Every structure is written in structure tokens, then in C-alpha cells.
Amino acid sequence: MIKVSVMYPNTPGARFDHSYYRDKHLPLVKSLMGEACRFYTIDRGLAGGAPDEPATYIGMCHLYCDSVESFQAGFGPHAEQIMADIPNYTDLTPVLQISEVVVGQP
């Protein structure tokens, strides 16, 4: 299994609508990707590692897929539509990382 992390840097003055991201954008991504996206999680940054340090990322999501190929097959045909929705909730440019899920616990 792989995890596609889409992370939005916590930049002072940036706009990020968490409600839209949760209620509109990620459900859109899931509906377009179908079974290629097994499930997703959404994070809202609260704090950094040191006292009074801001979160590194203001928000992020993690898409779980069987493989890089299944992610690409599910996302690729809809990439333009998904990317066009980004300005509806943020003015930030996301950082993307694909990771292998080595271990997980329920």
C-alpha cells in the first residue's frame, strides 16, 4: 500500500478554508478516483514540535492506494479537474510526497 501526502505549508497570511477542504474538495477527489483511493485522512496543523512554534503545515491529506500505478490510474484522468478546485480553498501550492506504508495498526 502507498500513501500520497498532499501538504500545504503554513505560510503567514495564506488562505486555507478547512471546511471546504473537508466537505467539498476531498469528497470530490474520492468520488473521481473511485476504488483507486481506498480511503483518505485529513489533518489540520495545530503546532510545531517546540513550545509556541506554529505547525509546519496548515493542512494536509493522505490518500491511501494499493500502488503508485493505481494512484496514477485513478488521479491522472481527473488531475485537471482536481487541480482546478484548489483555488476554491487556498492560495498555497501543495507539496506532494508518495510513501510506502511499511506498517500500520488499527
Provide the mean pLDDT of the chain.
Answer: 95
Task: Please write the tens of the pLDDT for every residue from 57-81.
Answer: 999 999 999 999 999 999 999 999 9
- Amino acid 105: pLDDT: 63
- Amino acid 103: pLDDT: 82
- What are the structural domains, with CATH classification, of the chain? 9-92 (3.30.70.100)
User: Rounded to whole angstroms, how far apart are CA atoms 63 and 50?
Assistant: 28
Task: Please write the tens of the pLDDT for every residue from 15-42.
Answer: 999 999 999 999 999 999 999 999 999 9
- Positions of E strands within the chain: 2-9, 39-44, 57-65, 95-100
Amino acid at 68: V
CB-based contacts of 21-26 (< 8 A; 24+ apart in sequence): 21/59, 21/61, 21/89, 21/90, 24/85, 24/88, 24/89, 25/85, 25/86, 25/88, 25/89, 26/61
pTM for this model (two decimals): 0.92
pLDDT of 43 above 80? yes
Average pLDDT estimate for 95-104: 92
CA atoms within 13 A on the CB side of 4: 23
